[in-house]
Amino acid sequence: MKLPAGLFAAEDGLARCSWCAASPAYRDYHDQEWGFPVTDERRLFEKLCLEGFQAGLSWLTILNKRESFRAAFANFDAERVARFGPKDVERLLADAGIVRHRGKIESTINNAQRLLELRAEFGSLVGYAWAFEPGAKARPRRVTHAALRAMTTSDTSIAMSKDLKKRGWTFVGPTTVYAFMQAMGLVNDHIEGCHVRERALAARAALQLPPQLTPSQ
């Protein structure tokens, strides 16, 4: 049976979003992580940082280096990363396991410091990020291949990007933030017919969020 555009059938016969066809590791990421709601602050911070590192690259490149990034950046423990200094920057620039880009490395340290400030104001990155979830009570929108290709930002990703920048965060443009929203389950962009889509929607329906903290926009 011919699958709709944007889907492919893997060796197990299951239909998946075609962007994950490149490798088994990519398919595992698609099946187990992408689009499932996340309320763990460390994972949210890690994803924002890694999306910043992805700028100009593919997510598969970053995914393949993710364990090295975790080792290099203290498992994205914001308190520890916030204390990184010039010697750490030089250490990271010499680490072949990560993307050695001074601006992105320094951005990660800066953003860890900004996260500590955000906690003081909002309690956590969890409440802050989920306050930007679009249409939480609306019916899930239909996602086609054409719609997904066209959707690189949204009103909410633009709003969150603007607010983060106002707070001093860097490498958090609207496209980066939208990719973060897709991955962390704030939106579900699994294409109609993907075998993961309904499972991700069910996970969101079952999610008990912490008290919403609405940032000023």
51 is catalytic: yes
59 is catalytic: yes
Which of 29, 33, 106, 192 is an active site residue? 29
Contacts of residue 58, defined as CB under 8 A and 6 or more positions apart, other chains included, come to: none
Which of 19, 26, 59, 169 is an active site residue? 59
**CB distance 63 to 26 below 8 Å:** yes
Which of 51, 128, 133, 169 is an active site residue? 51
217 residues of the chain, pLDDT tens digit each: 678 889 999 889 999 999 999 999 999 999 999 999 999 999 999 999 999 999 889 999 999 999 999 999 999 999 999 999 999 999 999 999 999 999 999 999 999 999 999 998 889 999 999 999 987 555 566 777 666 666 789 999 999 999 999 999 999 999 999 999 999 999 999 999 999 999 999 999 999 876 554 433 3
